[in-house]
Amino acid sequence: MKNNRKGYEVFEEIISPDNVMRMGELLALQSLKFMCQHKYLHRMYANLARDIDYKDIPGYVLTDSYDLAQSAALFLLDYMGKSIYDTCLDKKSNKVFTIKRLCYKHLCHLLYEEWKLKRYTGSIEDLNKSEEPYTEFEQEYKGDYTKYDKIMRKLKLNKGEKETLNCYMQGIGFVQQANMLSLNPSTIWRRRKSMQNKYLNIVHTL
């Protein structure tokens, strides 16, 4: 199988609609490789690497890690017709960087926010079998949603964010959501990031 992670010569080209996604994938992969040394995002790196290699295979479902490549591509869209080695002004710091370096800074910030979120949330995949909850299926279970309702009230999600959250709770990834809701994948990505930021703002009050 052809390794889609190779081909860094694309960085020598001018940013265009034909190569912006490829550039985004490679920049995202490099950013994750760097951040993995500090923020323990190894699983996200592995998922993105697999997404890049297998994304063109019919039936393959992209993981949420591919969001980072989408984010990099969206960042580069503002610099169409330029080289990633051209300089630009960072409005936050008022310093001059190359487009490539500024994109790295943008991606690393997103990854740091992702890491902070992981500190306060857990995945069922991380549970040891001995820690998995035992369910007696013959008994009727009545869940206590008091804490969930409290969190939802504090989050104050808008209609779109609630729609996206419900999809995620049903196991529907962002690409599937975009197709199902007839939305651009970047819209789903922005909704999810907005929800994550809202959660980080209230987590210390729970």
CATH of domain 144-206: 1.10.10
Q: Which two three-digit tokens encode residue 176? A: 């599937």
Helix (H, G, I), strand (E, B) or coil at 96: strand
Beta-carbon neighbour count of residue 67 at 10 Å?
Answer: 25
Q: Which two three-digit tokens encode residue 172? A: 């529907």
pLDDT for 118 equals 61
Beta-strand pair 87-90/95-98: antiparallel
Axis-axis angle for helices 159-169, 174-181 (nearest 10): 120
Q: What is the mean pLDDT of the chain?
A: 79
Evaluate if residue 27 carries a pLDDT over 70. Answer: yes
Question: pLDDT tens-digit profile of 58-103?
Answer: 888 888 888 899 889 989 998 999 999 999 998 888 899 999 999 9
**Residue with the larger pLDDT of the pair 124 and 104:** 104
pTM for this model (two decimals): 0.56
User: To 10 degrees, the CA torsion angle through 177, 181, 182, 188?
Assistant: -50
Question: pLDDT tens-digit profile of 146-185?
Answer: 777 788 888 888 988 888 888 877 777 766 777 777 887 7
User: For the chain, which residues make up each domain, given as ranges?
Assistant: 1-122, 144-206
Evaluate if residue 40 carries a pLDDT over 80. Answer: no
